[in-house]
Amino acid sequence: MKLCVLASGSKGNVTYFESGKTKILIDCGLSFKQLQLRLSNKELSIKDLNGILITHEHTDHVQGIDVLLKRIDTTCYLTEDTYNSLHSKVKQNVKEKQMSFISPYSSFFIDDVEILPISISHDAEDAVGYVIYAEGKKLVYITDIGYLPVKDVEILSNADIYVFESNYDITMLFTSQRPFYLKQRIDSVKGHMSNNDSAYNMTKLIGSKTTQIVLAHPSRECNLPEIAINTYDEVFKEYGLKISDYNLVVATQDVPTKIFEI
């Protein structure tokens, strides 16, 4: 299993996943040019791409999907409500036959890769995260989430690798120049997840198999990598855990992560 977060943040989100000969993108929030450039810089390719998983309809997750689907013949997996909520510019430029509708908590396969979508609390029509099983390994991909329900903890627990939202530092958010309504939206159960909440939730999820945690969707204005990592370090210590045991890294908007091989 290989994973590379090509872009993560409010300006665009794309993650590359590979298992054997199966290649999958999670979201497509970059231009085709940028996508190709970042892939080639990592010696990766989306030739023979087997599918694209869409989390929700917000622009930073889908703005490149129409051009990509014109260039590459593949299938886009998303919920029907997400498809219906796509911006008209995107929707009119994609072919419905390239869409495959999925449902939360109903697993499906792309080749021999099993994928389980789960519902996400976010201000989108039908946002989902993904649990991906391949080669005896488990990946949990959760971004754009306001809170994590207790009912989903068991489903998400003890993954080999987590790509998990850690969007903002609470102090930086509420002392920023952003309008108060936006601060409230971000800090709500339908918004994003703070570093603190991310870390506390992660202490419930990690298990004996977990070797890698990638903090995703960091805010440029209201977070810093060192603050996110320090917050995780403090919270983990409260629970008798060491972040050094889990290879904690922060994904960024402009520079892809290294290729994680699990």
Pair type for strands 113-119 and 108-110: antiparallel
The pTM assigned to this predicted structure is 0.96
Nearest partner of 34 among 60, 12, 4, 2, judged by Cα: 12
Residue 100: the pLDDT is 97
Residue 90: the pLDDT is 87
CA 48 from chain center: how many Å?
A: 22
In this structure, what DSSP letter does residue 17 have?
A: E
Is 100 strand, coil or helix?
A: strand
In this structure, what DSSP letter does residue 256 have?
A: P
Residue 85: the pLDDT is 94
Residues of the chain with pLDDT under 50: none
CA distance 210 to 104: 24
Residue type (1 letter), 4: C
Domains of the chain: 2-253 (3.60.15.10)
Whose structure tokens read 């622009």?
59
Residue 91: the pLDDT is 85
